[in-house]
Amino acid sequence: MPPTVATDPCPGPVPSPDRRLLHYPRRSLVLLGGIPGAGKSTLLSRLYGLTGTEVRTVRSPDGVRVVDSQQSRNALAPWLGAVPYPAWRWVVHLLHYVRILLALCSGGPVIVHETATRPAVRTLISVVCRLARVEPHLLLLDAEPAEARRGQLERGRMVTSRSFRTHGLRWRRLLDRCADGPAAVLSGARSLVLLDRALARRVQRIRFGAGPDGPSDPSAAARRVLQCVPVYSAALLMAL
């Protein structure tokens, strides 16, 4: 059974209904997770202009690096496209993880498009964040399976039924961990935001670094989430 998505904000400033943002420290990695079709690509397209045709890591004007495995697949397709994709999927994943590491080494903020359903991948991201001294944060998009399937059709990136079921089962287990806090999902994670597709559409910006009142508090995001048990979907939605 999926968790209840809370809609009331945490104690503090009431978010504006039409201008919303997610605010993180500058040296952060945001793991944007969700089953295929949950709306991750849609969110990145709206906020960062990603089209799904990129062949390299996208860098926004404010220095945010957005890493998506589709970028690695697109880059390798001219050389390996004639071979059935399952035979070279591992090469795509390897290049994807190398690009995550290179993005972290840049010193700026990083957003990683990843299902987050594979424990080994979450462990890998946790380790590289610790080595790079970058704060990991979780931004999770939840969607019902039928809704996610429609999302796949809309973006033209379908996974096999078997793979989709596997992601779905792992996602349920991941959501069960959310009630125990961010670190129960991703070791070292400082915050966790769980959104459904409707709430995700209300996010207008992801900001990294100092806010209008001065330098950001690296622990503030985590406190806002952990004060709202088990998980507040609107925990990091604040007035712009």
Give the pLDDT confidence of 63-122 residue by residue, as tens digits.
999 999 999 999 999 999 999 999 999 999 999 999 999 999 988 899 999 999 999 999
Query: Average per-residue pLDDT in the chain?
Result: 81
- Which residues contact residue 152 at a Cβ distance below 8 angstroms, ignoring those fewer than 6 apart? 36, 37, 158, 159
Q: pLDDT-derived band of residue 235, with 50, 70 and 90 as boundaries?
A: very low
pLDDT at 124: 94
Residue at 28 is within a domain: yes
pLDDT at 210: 61
Print the domain residue range for 125.
20-42+106-239
Residue at 61 is within a domain: no
- What average pLDDT does range 184-195 have in this prediction? 92
pLDDT at 198: 87
Q: Which of 4-8, 61-65, 127-131, 206-210 has the lowest mean pLDDT?
A: 4-8
Residue at 65 is within a domain: no
Residue at 52 is within a domain: no
Q: pLDDT-derived band of residue 133, with 50, 70 and 90 as boundaries?
A: very high
* b/e burial code for range 128-147 (CB count within 10 A of at least 16 → b): bbeebebbbbbbbbbbeeee
Token representation of residue 23: 């605010």
Domain count, the chain: 1
Residue at 93 is within a domain: no
- What average pLDDT does range 156-184 have in this prediction? 88
Phi, psi angle pair for 235, to nearest 5°: -60, -35
Identify the CATH number of the domain in which residue 121 sits.
3.40.50.300
**pLDDT tens by residue, 2-39:** 333 333 333 333 333 444 788 899 999 999 999 999 99
pLDDT at 127: 95
- What average pLDDT does range 148-172 have in this prediction? 84
Residue at 60 is within a domain: no
In the chain, the percentage of residues whose pLDDT exceeds 70 is: 79
Residue at 2 is within a domain: no
Residue at 67 is within a domain: no
Is the model's pLDDT at 238 over the cut of 70? Answer: no
